Structure 1
Amino acid sequence: MTEARTEVQEVWEPYARSGPARPRLEAMPASGVDLLVAGNAGVSELSEGVTEVTVVPEGSEVGPVRLEWRLPCVDATAFWTPYGNGAGGWLPASWSAPQRIDLSRGAPIAALVGTGDTGLCCFAADRTDVEAGGGVVEETGEFRFWLRADGPLTVRIDTSRRHFGTCLRELTCWWEELLPDEVIVPDAARRPAYSTWYSMHQELSPQRLEEQAALAGPLGMEVLIVDDGWMTADRTRGYGHCGAWDPVSLPDTAAHVEAVHRLGLAYMLWYALPFVGRQSPVWDRFQPYVLDRLDHLDAIVVDPRYPDVRAYLTGRVACAVEEWGMDGLKLDFVDRFHVPDAPAPGPQADCATVDEGVSALLAEIRRRITAATPGAMIETRQPYVSPGLWPYTTMIRAVDCPLSPGENRQHTIDTRLVSGPLAVHSDMLMWHPAEPPEQVACHLINVLFAVPQISVDLRTLTEGQRDALAFWLRVMREHHEVLQLGTLRPARPDLGYPLVRADLGTVAAVARYAALPVAVDGDWRRLLIANADADPVVVLTAGTGTGAARVADASGRTVWQGAIALSGECGESIKVSVPRGGLLTLDR
């Protein structure tokens, strides 16, 4: 034990920026993992393989604490984090730069994943403002985790070796238990949406928007999200006109919103929440309240620690719901409040930290718009996926990845694993006008376990593209409960999730992104198998009994149906031909 303590101490010291200089070594019960603690710690085993560690500063409730633990890095394949650690989640080195996590960027959760998608070690912390690191120790072949916080810290560590998705789901359920109130997500937040960003960028007008809305509804979209460009006549794609938030491109806004409502779509409006631009009439007003200067964006980030800033921003963005009759807000760039070296607040500030200011701002926005419209929605986006934001939002969108289906898949699955009760939206789907229907279907299958946002000019769709879009949006709407709320079991994070499964009650769904066999075990009565791979031969394994099968192509046309045995003689696998972009439905 003395030798182990000396060894860990040598690694600890280069990263110890402040706090007690002499950490103590303690053991986690029944886990084989040693803890290195700076502060007073309490350790308790909650269940087999799940341990809770609470660390408080020595002598008071104020001051830094630090927690480190290691385990043998045996059979490890990926290091999963919600804020990204490189494509494929490769294993970082222990000397990699730490992540500074706060309310507006990242989340205090991570997992070391092993062969067979086992959670070798998963953890989550109870506070959203931590510094975190993790990586392979070159000298020993161990994997090292560490956390630092400025005050009491509770961490749950799961070494149960269950599926890593199961471990992460339980950790996010713990987060939900810590919230003072239930998180309410309106049904509209789980419905397919049309977004204007890729299809129109800033070229907005009521006529263009209503034209797209009229086409979107019959295809299965139920929400219109209007992005940047509505508050300015400038079309140079900068943020210099943010701040006043006057609907320059949407004259007679309330009447326009009502026209979209008559077409059957809810309406959400984009705001770059932290920005005040140089061309804005309120530019000079907010110079005393600058949190950060973004000269390359022609804007400043205003400081939410000041009540004047919060009151102004709340009033401007709530106007969309209170006065214009909209159904929600798309609050963008919340992560720009993440300023590691924020200036000290002035005497007019009433919040000690930026996180406190962000929380107060978003809480007031949510209160105002839900008072006007109880089902009002708020969209936020990766990388601001902190559980501390759950009370103030209804949906999280994947980070921008235009025309990148594999990346969209990884981002939406990563976000699903950490989003708790919130709806998860894809980045907007776009494609070249010459895209074949099969690839349009694959774009949708890649975000099958999220809410799709579509952003193409619907007037220019070919008949095949339109049929594929309508078919898959119908599938996603009809089965949204299992797809969005089912127990998620993504496979192989190191390979970008080439196979993903969700189960809810008697319905299960599988998406196949590579030529991998599909296990058809379980107690399902209906099983959906979507094929996004070029290989049409879908191999079914581990099945029993028989099932009524229907195979549809990318546009939803039936290409084969009949009864099939779910296992061959002596348990052999079964092969079914499912075209690229197609769907196999099994009922039993």
Structure 2
Amino acid sequence: MTALSWDGSAPPSGLVETSRTVEAGGLVVRVTAVGSEVPPVVRVVQDAGVVVVEADGERLRIEWQLPCTGAAAYWTPNTNSRWLPPSWARPRETSVAKGAPVGSLIGAGDRALCTFALGELVRPVTIGEGAVEETGRFAWWAEHDGPTLSLRLDLSGRHFADTLADVSTWWEASLPARPPVPDLAYLPVFCTWYALHLAMTHTDVERLAALAAPLGFRSLIVDDGWQTDERTRSYATTGDWQPAPEAFPDFGAHVKRIQQLGLAYLLWHAIPFAGDRSAAAQRLAGHTLAHLPQLETHVLDPRSPGVRAHLVDRLAAAVEQHGVDGLKIDFIDTFARPADTASPEADRPTVAEGVSELLAALDIRLRATTPQVLVEHRQDYVSAGLWPYATMVRAADCPHNVVENRVRTVDLRLTAGPLAVHADPLTWHPDESPEQIAVLLQSVLFSTAQVSVDLAAQRPEQLAALRFWLGVMTEHRGLLQRGELRPHRPELAYPMIEARSRRQLAFGRYAPLPLRAAGEWDLLLVANSDPDTLVRIEFDRPPGRVELLVQDCLGGEVARAQTPVDGTELAVRVPTGGLLTLTRAE
């Protein structure tokens, strides 16, 4: 067990350590060469409140601290509690398969006291971070094997979302150019998981698809269940990736019928798994990282070229043989685990590098057949090192959890770079009210909506709420999903979120708070999720004559007027689950 860090320092390595300290933006940064008597070579570049520290060496550690004054929240991309962790908390490890080496200490007014990021996007990095009880300081340390460690510190005091956006730009500059994400990745998705779980046949899927298309869905994800006729929550049959013979007797024809409805077809694969009852587990015995008895599956070792070849062939078959439009690639983060065994033919030094090689080979193979292929990844594998191999990234499973889905999708947006961000599929009880269905959709307003319910069991008013809000999200996807995102109060689960694109502005209102509409705008949208229906907007300048439209959760018109707003405040009644649209009059 790793020794606890009471003072915010890294645990002792037991090796020779040679350190060098440098000044960086008013902070003292210590860089240590672990296992070397030669001090590391360190370079520091400073510009407008941002410092980049680079060091060379075989194994490197970097440490820094600052006073924990005014700190209100600590942000990391894995959607933590947002409370300040103690310095003795267990360090986190990031790699291409799990997490991302970034964090932000946030103070009052959503101001970043310190946002850090590391440049290593593939190999493992160990990160310690937390408040030191004895000193009242916040301490960080990060360590990984060389040859270079790059640390970016943003001490500019700007809104934390702006500092994280700059981190994404910094990472992207180090990655190879990639094709743009297709617009289809930003359009609503129907997923089979919560609606059907494993109890699916081609008839069930086609029935739901026929109901989904007229509602505004443009893609269908067929989740776990297509590869097995079993109905238990087990992964024992994963790894062969052949359609279930009874449930899907003619898979290619089934895919074409879905596509003829106007839906793109994505197919689920749990990429690391070779189930206990699969042929793959027998053929690849000895080329695994671990056995997970509770899931009845082995985790394959991506360092093995034979494993990589098997997985590329089987996943590519979905596109090449069955004609699907893309893949939902699940459980990549399961690769990020201590290896119980190792493949004797491993040709990559780390599992993370094997994962990177696997996904790069798969990407080449998929794009050779389908250049606009859709590939979904999921929290917690959110490293920028995965950006070249995906088109969208989805919030981790949080069924029925309106707040968590909101927080997770926003967290993903902050460092998703070029990828479209998707919600965990929304699901609800058959008796759910239309207002609450609208609130569920509003909770993921700034991402691509996924939904997974039995559409045939919905009442007309439930379908009306779904249709209306999918339409709003589709029409304004440039603003909502690609605009400049500004979430507020992370320590309170983002009770207000805004997005801006040119002269368009949108708010998600999740608590009875006033909204502040700054700057010039021609279109202003407010989605009201709170039971308090009095929406108050404060302007930094009188907007003049505006056209006002209030709609309820079904899209029905509640109020419409053209009215002058000569002051800097406006109060409008907007029903829960409703939409306020303000348009500047000519």
Normalised to the residue count of structure 2, the TM-score between the two structures is 0.94
Distance 1:41 1:577, change over 3 A: farther
Aligned to 1:247: 243
Q: 1:446-482 CA distances to partner (integer Å, 9 max, x unpaired)?
A: 0001101010011111111111100000000011111
| 2:484 equivalent among 479, 482, 487 | 487
Aligned to 2:54: 54
CA contact (8 A) 1:439 1:581 kept: yes
Counterpart Cα distance in 1 of 2:565 and 2:73: 33
CA contact (8 A) 2:410 2:487 kept: yes
Aligned to 2:104: 111
Residue identity opposite 1:262 in structure 2: Q
CA contact (8 A) 1:268 1:326 kept: yes
| Runs of 4+ with deviation above 6 angstroms | none
- Aligned to 2:116, the other structure's residue is in SS state strand
Residue 17 of structure 1 deviates from its aligned partner by 2.6
Counterpart Cα distance in 2 of 1:18 and 1:418: 35
Aligned to 2:158: 162
Q: 1:364-393 CA distances to partner (integer Å, 9 max, x unpaired)?
A: 111111111111111110000001111111
- Aligned to 1:36, the other structure's residue is in SS state strand
- Aligned to 1:575, the other structure's residue is in SS state strand
| 2:141 equivalent among 141, 146, 166 | 146
Q: 1:496 and 2:493 equivalent?
A: yes
| 1:74 equivalent among 51, 69, 85 | 69
Distance 1:342 1:153, change over 3 A: farther
Q: 1:550 and 2:549 equivalent?
A: yes
Matched residues, percent identical?
45
Q: 1:257 and 2:252 equivalent?
A: no
CA contact (8 A) 1:539 1:576 kept: yes
| 2:367 equivalent among 365, 370, 379 | 370
CA contact (8 A) 1:104 1:355 kept: yes
Alignment of 1:116-515 (within 5 A): 116-128=109-121, 129-151=124-146, 152-248=148-244, 249-341=247-339, 343-346=341-344, 348-515=345-512
Residue identity opposite 1:49 in structure 2: G
Residue identity opposite 1:555 in structure 2: L
Distance 1:317 1:10, change over 3 A: closer
Counterpart Cα distance in 2 of 1:176 and 1:169: 11
Counterpart Cα distance in 2 of 1:20 and 1:343: 29
CA contact (8 A) 2:507 2:527 kept: yes
Aligned length: 567
Aligned to 2:13: 17
Q: What CA RMSD, in Å, does the superposition of the two structures yield over aligned residues?
A: 1.5
CA contact (8 A) 1:100 1:132 kept: yes
Residue identity opposite 1:475 in structure 2: V
Counterpart Cα distance in 2 of 1:253 and 1:81: 41
Residue 180 of structure 1 deviates from its aligned partner by 1.7
Residue 157 of structure 1 deviates from its aligned partner by 0.3
- Aligned to 2:190, the other structure's residue is in SS state strand
Counterpart Cα distance in 2 of 1:427 and 1:233: 25
Aligned to 1:60: none
Residue identity opposite 2:198 in structure 1: Q
Q: 1:398-457 CA distances to partner (integer Å, 9 max, x unpaired)?
A: 000000010000000001111100011000000011111110000000000110101001
Counterpart Cα distance in 2 of 1:342 and 1:179: 32
Counterpart Cα distance in 2 of 1:35 and 1:125: 14
Counterpart Cα distance in 2 of 1:485 and 1:452: 14
Aligned to 2:37: none
Aligned to 2:558: 559
CA contact (8 A) 1:224 1:265 kept: yes
Counterpart Cα distance in 1 of 2:414 and 2:570: 31
The answer for unaligned runs of 5 or more in structure 1 is: 1-8, 58-62
Q: 1:538-588 CA distances to partner (integer Å, 9 max, x unpaired)?
A: 1111242222111110011110111344463xx4x3211000000111111
Q: 1:217-265 CA distances to partner (integer Å, 9 max, x unpaired)?
A: 1100000000011111110110001111110122111111110111000
Residue 85 of structure 1 deviates from its aligned partner by 2.8
The answer for unaligned runs of 5 or more in structure 2 is: 34-39
Residue identity opposite 2:311 in structure 1: L
Residue 343 of structure 1 deviates from its aligned partner by 3.8
538-547 vs 376-385, greater mean Cα deviation: 538-547
Aligned to 1:4: none
- Aligned to 2:338, the other structure's residue is in SS state coil
Counterpart Cα distance in 2 of 1:94 and 1:517: 36
Q: 1:353-373 CA distances to partner (integer Å, 9 max, x unpaired)?
A: 111111111111111111111
Counterpart Cα distance in 2 of 1:444 and 1:378: 23
Residue identity opposite 2:98 in structure 1: R
CA contact (8 A) 2:329 2:377 kept: yes
Counterpart Cα distance in 2 of 1:183 and 1:32: 40
Aligned to 1:574: 570
Distance 1:184 1:292, change over 3 A: farther
Distance 1:554 1:344, change over 3 A: same
Distance 1:563 1:42, change over 3 A: farther
CA contact (8 A) 1:394 1:422 kept: yes
Q: 1:177-199 CA distances to partner (integer Å, 9 max, x unpaired)?
A: 11022353112111100000000
